[in-house]
Structures are given as structure tokens and as C-alpha cells.
Structure 1
Amino acid sequence: MTAGMPSFPAYADQLGQALAYMREGEHFLIVSHVQPDGDAISSTLVTAWLLAKLGKTFVMMNESSVPLRLGYLKGSSHIQSMNEVAAEVRFDRVIAVDCADYKRIGLVSERFAPGCGLLNIDHHPTNDHFGTVNLIRSDAAATVEILYDLIEFAGIPLDVEAGTAVYTGLLTDTGGFRYSSTSPRVMQIASAILTLGVSGHLLAEHLLEKMTKAQLLLLQRGLANLTFSTDNRIAWITVGHADLEATGATSEDLEGLVNYARNVEGVDVGMLFKEAADGCVKVSLRSSGAANVSAIAQSFGGGGHVRAAGCRLDLPMQEAVNQVIQAVSEALQG
């Protein structure tokens, strides 16, 4: 094991099994979760990079499109939508990255061959080990951190292309290296990547500072209905589908909005309720650590981390708000 890499035996075994799975196959499907974020897209591309280094071929596919702000990542334009791959094509070797459970793969799972092999690489504590081979490290800050370990384990030198993707996944999933998941190992990896010549400051400016006009208009609307519980320990923002249409924003522009509720002094749990086009409500939850929002999200069929989680409710907005607020209140009182 390389210096700095987690050294517990079970993890070394998982790395070995994952690498063997990649070496044994010739052609792979790589998929991440629906509505992919920075870690999901970066993990997809890093996995593809590693497969290419191993002399393998692959298809990258996602039910959702790649966020525009991640278009700078080399290879991102090659992540295909389902209608770009012939409907009859089935894959017998699959790699799923950053998917907390099987359903997060979405409709792409329809392209899996019956009895296919499935390598599941993920960092969510709620992951249910749905793969035939599982590489799970729930204390990793991002799935790209696990992939970095896998690359080191394979003895393959990282280059700027893969380094940029790894740095992107770490940067976005740690909130710019501000979250509690920012471990010494994360900073060690970031340092190694900067040494390669990756421009970390430019990536931070692009991913964390810049915003579109539509995003700013959406923020303006969201903050106008920021609401607090009577004890001010819970804060939430609601965004209707009409707000997206009125501002010209997309679901991508909602990213980070939940933090405005959580970052208010005295707030222990901040939430964002987003109405989708089909009428369902998607909820993002962020916690100071006073409540396990992963457990709360799981109770509604979702999942995530202790401090950051999400779920989807097929309910009208106000009913969804009421139910989740009640669950969060009970968790804080417990």
C-alpha cells in the first residue's frame, strides 16, 4: 500500500478485487447516478481513464446530461445519453461510480445484460453493496478519492487529465475543502495533483465562485422565501418549477442553494425543497452534525451522508415540507 493510503486489510482486498475485475474484462459500461454532480462526472471520467490505461474499451452513459459547468473536463462530451446507444445493446460488464444504491443508476440499468458483472465504487455510508464486486470506503470524501487509491494501487502514474478530474471531484464534494470530510489524505492528494501542474485556483473560481445570471435570479427568489422554525434551528428554502421557468434556470443552477439556509448562525439543519416538472419534490438536507440527515433521508427513500443527504417525495410541496420538517424536528429533539 502507498504511504498515506488507508491500510486496513479489507480495503486492500477490495482494491485488488476491483482491479482484477477491470483487468479480466475487455469492454465496459461506466455509469454514475442520475443528475450527476462534480464527483459523479469526474469519477466516470477517471474510471474511463484507468480502463484506457489498462488497454480496455468502454462506453460512458448517463440518463441525465452532463452539467454545462463541467464541460471543461476532457472526455465529458463522450458521456452518452441513452438514445445515443442502440436500444438493443446490452453490457455484461458494468462499473457504477458514486451511486449510493442501485436505483440511483436510473434507466441506464435497463441496458445491463442479465447476470452481468457489476463493480460498485462508492463512498456513501448508505451504499447497500449492490455490486458483484464492491469497492466502498464510506470515510472517503468523494468517490474520486477511492479511484485515486485504485490508480496508486495499480501503480499507474497520474497525469494532468486524470488529476484535473480527481481535483474537481474532491473540490466539489468537500465544498472547496471546507467540509468535515476534508481529511489529511484529501489534502495529500490535492497537493500531489497541484504538483502535476493542475490549476487548482482556476478550478475553484470556475466551480465555486462563478454563477450564471439565471442562477443569481433563482437565488434571489429562493432567499425571498427562506423560512425558519420557531427555535431557528431549522431553515429551508422552497423553489417551484415555475421559478425555474421564470428565471430561465435549470436544475443545475440549484446546486449550492441549500447552503444559504444551513449557513445561517444557529441553524442546525438547512434544506432546499425543489419542485420538479413532474410535480414531485426533491429535498436536499445539510446538517451541522446535530442531526443525522442521512437517516432522515433514508426514512423517505433517499440517502447520503450524516451531514449531507437527499430524498424525493411524490407529494405536493407544502405536504412534503411539513413531513420533512417534522422528521427533522424529531431528530433534533432526540
Structure 2
Amino acid sequence: MRAAVCPGYGAPEVVHIEQRPAPSVEPGQVRVRVNAAAVNFPDVLLIANEYQVSVPPPFVPGSEFAGVVVETAAEGFRVGDRVTGTGMYGAFAEEVVVPAASLSPTPDGIDDRTAAAFGVAYRTAYHTLRSMARVQPGDTLVVLGAGGGVGLAAVQLGVLLGASVTAVASTDEKLEAASSYGATHVVNHRSGKLRDALRGAVPDGAHAVVDPVGGELAEPALRSLRRGGRFVTVGYASGVIPRIPLNLVLVKGIHVLGFHFQDVPADEFDRNETELREHLVGGRIRPHVGAVYPLEETVQALRHVADGRAVGKVLIDLT
């Protein structure tokens, strides 16, 4: 099979395409013919060995995919089933073998590109909004990194949940996308002081902030919260982990939370998953796919994400 391979740690340019033997299927696993794979920022970090876990090279990067089952050694799936799945690595290849538990059926009427673009970003955003930020109709919500995969998903879902969303991003193109999905206010943080811009956008203070970026944007966003507001840190796409003055947390009674799937209470997790799937199947949300590359251009796809140019999701097409 053809696969994108990371032979050693480094920049995206170390990745190359080669022929590799198809991985064997062990009990409890399923082989999937990959039709579409999504590029996520952690893929870039894994290749650079800058993620919180290391994968020994050589390895096939890629953590999110959609395709068709071609072999199974597990209950619950049959050859020919359309599925979407996640894993730490392996998706940037014509075939991937994963535990059955990491797969979900692709809903009828949802194409593989949509399925590949949907899973990680939208599940992260929805669980964050529902169970961490606890967004309610009428709330004001600030979303940092609002042009990226998780950020743009949070904009769409925040609007769907009834919030007034202020989208913060680095380019007008990203802000145009956020506006098209219902953001009430948009802020280009490169155009001036973010603290002043947020004071104008949410003069009474925000109920919640979702931050997948970190870096220098975190503190002014936190300052924009009203008393008792919730600040949810999701990731650090900026590459910089922020240092928050704790006196702000004390004085304003702010709640600072970190998002992990395993921290969502089981009953809420099931509720969130059901609601999100219903929103997708019902056509109330659709992932924004900003760029699609063939497998041969995996390096360009990774560089697109690494450089912060992605608007919504970046995909690799393997059909």
C-alpha cells in the first residue's frame, strides 16, 4: 500500500511517500480502506517529536480518517461498512488497522470527506461547550483560533446552542469564515490590542472563552470574562503555553478548566455524542473544509496546518 511515512523526527518536509506492507489484523481489530484523512495540528507535533507522547519512527502519521471496512477480526463491523475513526497515527495511508472501539459507523447521507473532517474537531468543540463552558442560550462566548478546525467548529456549535459568538482569528479570510457561520463579532488580533477589541465586542463581559491557541491571546481573553465566567483551555496551537496571573482568577471568581474527553461525566458524554450526531445527520452543521490534498502532497498539507494557514479542516484525499 502507499503511505506517507515519517522516517525520523523533524519538520513536515521529512515525510515522504513509499510502498509499505499492509498492517496485519489482530483479534479485536479492523482494517479500513481509507478514502479521506484529516490533518490535525498534533500530527505536526508528533512528526517533530513535540507532542506530549512520542511515536518511535518510522511511522505513518495521521489520526483521523473515513473509509470502508475491508477486513475484520472484531464484533460489530462487517466488510463493506462505511466507518470513521481515530488513532494516534496511521491514517495517511491507503489502509489502516485500528481497534474496533476506535471506529464509528458513518451515518447514511454523510460523505467520507465530511465524516473525516467532523470527528475530532466537532466532538472536542461540542463537549467543551456543553460540559466545560456550559454554554446556554443567550450567553456571550469568545472563541480564540476561530478559523482553525476546533475554533471554527466552536463558532458553529456555539451559535447552534444559542450563544452570541465573538470570533478571534489572525486573518480576514478566517474571520470571513467565522462570520459565515454566524459569529456576531469578529476580531483580527493582529490589528490591535486584543484586550481593547474584546472590551468593545463584549462590554458586559463574556460568559465563556474557548481557547485552542494559548500564547499571548489567553490573558486578554481571560480578562474579557464577566464575574464567574468560564475559561476552557483546549490546546496550544501557538506553540506557547500561557502563564495566567492568578489574581485575575481570584478577583473575578473565574473558573479555569482544561478539556479532556475522559473528564466529561459519562451521562453527559453520551448525551453530547447523541446530540452532536443528530445535528450532523439533521444538516444543522457541516464541517468547513478549507483545503484538500492528494496523498502525494501530504507534506504540503502538513505545512499548510503547521503554518497556521488552515481555515477549518485540511484533508488528504486517497480515492
State the TM bucket, normalised to the shorter chain: 0.3 to 0.5
Write 1 or 2 for the structure with the bigger share of strand. Answer: 2
Normalising by the residue count of structure 2, what TM-score does the alignment of the two structures yield?
0.34
Write 1 or 2 for the structure with the bigger share of helix. Answer: 1
Normalising by the residue count of structure 1, what TM-score does the alignment of the two structures yield?
0.33
Question: Which has the higher relative contact order, 1 or 2, with Cα contacts under 8 A spaced 6 or more apart?
Answer: 2
